[in-house]
Structure 1
Amino acid sequence: MLLLPLALAACAGEGQNSITYTNDRGVADQPYPANYRPELLAFMKTYLNNPVGVKDAAMAEPVQRTVGGRLRYVVCLRYNAKDTDGSYRGVRERAILFVDARLDRIVEDASEPCAGAAYAPFPDLEKMTR
């Protein structure tokens, strides 16, 4: 019985406020995530409570950063999404990490991995539907 909590804790990722989706092999030379835009849009469609009507969407191109002691491609994202009651929650900043060119996890506290990111408008996020 003690193995279950340990196994569940291992699924939580490298740090607080992150959710991991891939098996991180720890490889240092990561390939560029060529399909980061469609992967990011597909993920955000399920991540957001209400993907319709996102405002103020902006994204930074993938850059390599050290996160959790490992070199990763990071895409920084800013957006203002509706909550379940239809009201806007305010602008959020998230770091999206890629491992082996695939979306791996979202880091909700993006202040460190996204410091100095150069954002550009991301209208595709604002055009999402259910």
Structure 2
Amino acid sequence: MGMGRTSWWPATALALLLAGCASGGPAAFMSEDNRGISYTGDRGVGSQPFPANHRSEILSYLRTYLNNPVGVRDGVMAEPLQRTVGGRLRYVSCLRYAARESDGSYRPAQERAAVFVDGRFDRLVEDAGELCAGSTYAPFPELAGLTR
């Protein structure tokens, strides 16, 4: 029977093995502090550029992050400040809002921290306690205008 029918499996096994190596495994998707997915590459640069488009990037992310982005209440946000996140200096913008539930009710306002790497939105930290301690909030009316 030669090469026809049985030679496909070594090539398939090799392709799967190489795909696993190229992805870096599950740890490649964890941030340096193991708290979530990181969407941007980290060059390891100590001085970070100010995230000039922080408001629009946060709004874009929340439009997909929230189950129902329509009718968000009590939206406030702090200007980005440099904080240490996972041992590295990052710009962090704290926000607080009350999201609408699927039944139309509202849960209490929640505090989140938007982390920026190289001037771009990287991730939203749900347990923002220490990162947002002492933040000065200002109204964020654009949050109430989100649509699906």
| TM-score (normalised: structure 2) | 0.80
Q: CA deviation at 1:124?
A: 0.4
Unmatched segments (≥5 aa) in structure 2: 1-15
Identity of aligned residues (%): 61
Counterpart of 1:110 in structure 2 is 128
* Paired residue secondary structure (1:87): coil
CA contact (8 A) 1:15 1:68 kept: yes
**1:72-118 deviations in whole A, cap 9, x for unaligned?**
00000100001233221211111001011000111111001111000
- Which has the larger helix fraction? 2
* 1:38-77 mapped onto 2 (5 Å cutoff): 38-77=56-95
CA contact (8 A) 1:80 1:91 kept: yes
Cα-Cα RMSD: 2.0
Counterpart of 1:32 in structure 2 is 50
- Quick one: which amino acid aligns to residue 25 of structure 2? A
Distance 2:75 2:69 in 1: 12
Distance 1:78 1:57 in 2: 6
Distance 1:57 1:17 in 2: 24
Unmatched segments (≥5 aa) in structure 1: none
Distance 2:28 2:133 in 1: 28
* Higher RCO, Cα 8 Å, sep 6+: 1
Counterpart of 1:87 in structure 2 is 105
Q: Which has the larger radius of gyration?
A: 2
Is 83-92 or 55-64 further displaced after alignment?
A: 83-92
- Which has the larger strand fraction? 1
Q: Does 1:14 align with 2:38?
A: no
